[in-house]
């Protein structure tokens, strides 16, 4: 299995000499003049001269031959402009410019680019985000890598200043760790529903963590056990369980600090891992089934965050990640609307739309986490899921964050929004209100809850959070809980998965070194 990795001082270098002969091209981000971001002295005058020749360099990516940047050799200089920065822009302008610049360099045939990434006062994490943007452009999907070994670069240099600094090396090390984590998540989220069927995800997760001594993995794959302990997940997976390779799994990944006495917070993350969502008996129509292999992006993000923890080793965290893996299939044994299911919490749930399967897939794991949280230090439960089209309709490509009353008391989603703005992952805050819980109450005798209120005309992503709060036993107890609906932010084909919200979580919970 060809693993795409970046390793400092093997294929990634910190370069202080803009004229080093070890590179076949230089990538420079051009910032608006009012930002006063200086350029390396060897090329500033060159850019001043060519800007008189062609003002277009400040509008789109251009490639120039330049003998100022590599000693005696003539190399290509890629200029990638940021056209405008207003008070409404965030650091994503740097990410996009860096990604476009790297793509343009690859298109020009560069295999050993040197990327100039300057510190920008406006954006405190701009260097980190810029490096991540450049590395993101180099991602090769897993199934292409497995088909043939594909290397789109030989080595890369990152240049900040003419002297090496510990601070910049730390930025680069953080970027490489985060990108390794995002590659892991993208591989799971972006691969097709057969390559990443539940059992294949388990295999890939075990392989990825095989050398990580701070990670423990527990796989629950016995169907009788799942039917007993995760009955709502079992219902969703019922039709798929007839096919061995599609059978559901619950994967529990535990990260333990090397110094348990330093742990101050326990994170418990539950990810939706629906490897393919046909809609079930409420089958998706009008071509809306295409792209539904991305419905495992929540579980992929949880796995990616666990990978970041395993690499960066935050001493203050204990982390439990749960991947709820299943396939929502059509068949003679499929679960259907009107069924009355008994959840792990003891509450009955009336099925009303089999295409609202994600909340059922996670519900029993959320309740289990709530049970475990009673014995953990400062616990915080998350659910991460491509859960509702409504979240995407409301917020486009941004993530919707929703707190229960305990998390809201600490302004947690506001902290996530701040971290997202620093890391170029947009977070929008949605408030869970009393009606979002009440709308999930059963309508018929014997129903404690309905899976989804089919009469609801609005607030669909909030009422989904309300369902998880109620079925998970998080309505009144004092356990912090945050639901992240990443339906708009996970990325849709033909775009690659974005691996949100790994960067936000790493920043908010101080995983970075």
Question: Hey, which residues does 13 pair with through a beta bridge?
Answer: 157
Question: Catalytic pick from 99, 112, 344, 359?
Answer: 359
Q: Which tokens is 61 given? A: 């990516």
Report the alpha-carbon distance of residue 184 to residue 221 in Å, rounded. 22
Number of other CB atoms surrounding residue 269 within 10 Å: 27
- 195 counts as catalytic: no
| 8 A C-beta contact, residue 277 and residue 292 | yes
Report the alpha-carbon distance of residue 149 to residue 64 in Å, rounded. 31
Question: Catalytic pick from 200, 284, 313, 397?
Answer: 284
Angle at 77 between CA 75 and CA 78, to 5 degrees: 140
Q: Which tokens is 56 given? A: 């277009």
Residues with Cβ within 8 Å of 131's Cβ and at least 6 positions away in sequence, in order, are: 98, 115, 117, 158, 171, 172, 175
| 8 A C-beta contact, residue 207 and residue 188 | no
Report the alpha-carbon distance of residue 442 to residue 133 in Å, rounded. 47
**DSSP codes joined into one string, 223-272:** HHHHHHH-HHHHHHTTTGGGSGGG--EEEEEEE--SSGGG--EEEEEEEE
| 8 A C-beta contact, residue 282 and residue 288 | no
Q: How far apart are the first and last CA of the chain?
A: 29
Report the alpha-carbon distance of residue 466 to residue 356 in Å, rounded. 14
Catalytically active residues are 284, 359
């Amino acid at each position: 299995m060809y693993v795409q990795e970046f390793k400092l001082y093997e294929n990634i270098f910190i370069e202080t000499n803009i004229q080093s002969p070890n590179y076949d091209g230089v990538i420079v981000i051009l910032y608006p003049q009012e930002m006063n971001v200086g350029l390396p002295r060897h090329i500033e005058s060159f850019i001043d001269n060519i800007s008189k020749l062609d003002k277009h360099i400040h509008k789109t990516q251009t490639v120039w031959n330049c003998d100022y940047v590599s000693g005696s050799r003539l190399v290509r200089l890629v200029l990638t402009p940021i056209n405008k920065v207003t008070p409404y822009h965030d650091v994503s302008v740097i990410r996009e410019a860096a990604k476009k610049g790297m793509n343009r360099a690859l298109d020009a045939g560069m295999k050993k680019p040197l990327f100039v990434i300057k510190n920008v006062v406006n954006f405190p994490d701009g260097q980190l985000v810029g490096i991540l943007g450049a590395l993101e452009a180099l991602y090769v999907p897993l199934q292409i890598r497995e088909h043939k070994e594909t290397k789109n670069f030989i080595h890369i240099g990152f240049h900040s200043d003419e002297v090496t600094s510990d601070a910049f090396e730390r930025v680069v090390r953080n970027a490489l760790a985060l990108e390794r984590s995002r590659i892991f998540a993208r591989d799971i989220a972006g691969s097709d529903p057969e390559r990443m069927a539940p059992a294949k995800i388990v295999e890939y997760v075990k392989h990825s963590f095989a050398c990580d001594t701070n990670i423990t993995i527990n796989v629950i794959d016995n169907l009788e056990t799942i039917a007993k302990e995760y009955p709502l997940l079992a219902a969703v997976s019922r039709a798929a369980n007839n096919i061995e390779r599609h059978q559901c799994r619950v994967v529990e990944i535990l990260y333990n600090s090397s110094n348990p006495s330093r742990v101050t917070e326990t994170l418990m993350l539950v990810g939706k891992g629906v490897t393919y969502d046909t809609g079930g008996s409420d089958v998706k129509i009008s071509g809306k089934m295409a792209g539904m292999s991305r419905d495992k992006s929540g579980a992929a993000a949880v796995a990616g965050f666990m990978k970041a923890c395993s690499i960066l080793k935050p001493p203050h965290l204990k982390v439990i990640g749960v991947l709820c893996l299943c396939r929502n299939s059509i068949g003679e044994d499929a679960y259907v609307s009107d069924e009355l299911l008994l959840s792990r919490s003891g509450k009955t749930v009336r099925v009303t739309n089999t295409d609202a399967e994600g909340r059922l897939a996670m519900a029993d794991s959320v309740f289990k986490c709530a049970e475990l949280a009673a014995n953990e230090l400062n616990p915080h439960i998350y659910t991460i899921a491509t859960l509702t089209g409504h979240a995407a309709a409301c917020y486009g490509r941004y993530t919707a964050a929703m707190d229960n009353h305990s998390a809201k008391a600490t302004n947690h989603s506001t902290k996530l929004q701040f971290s997202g703005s620093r890391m170029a992952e947009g977070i929008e805050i949605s408030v869970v209100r009393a009606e979002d819980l009440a709308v999930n109450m059963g309508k018929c005798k014997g129903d404690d809850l309905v899976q989804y209120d089919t009469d609801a005309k609005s607030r669909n992503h909030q009422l989904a959070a309300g369902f998880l709060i109620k079925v998970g036993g998080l309505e009144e107890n004092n356990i912090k809980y945050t639901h992240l609906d990443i339906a708009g932010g996970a990325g849709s084909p033909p775009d690659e998965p974005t691996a949100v919200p790994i960067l936000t979580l790493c920043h908010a919970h101080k995983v970075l070194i």
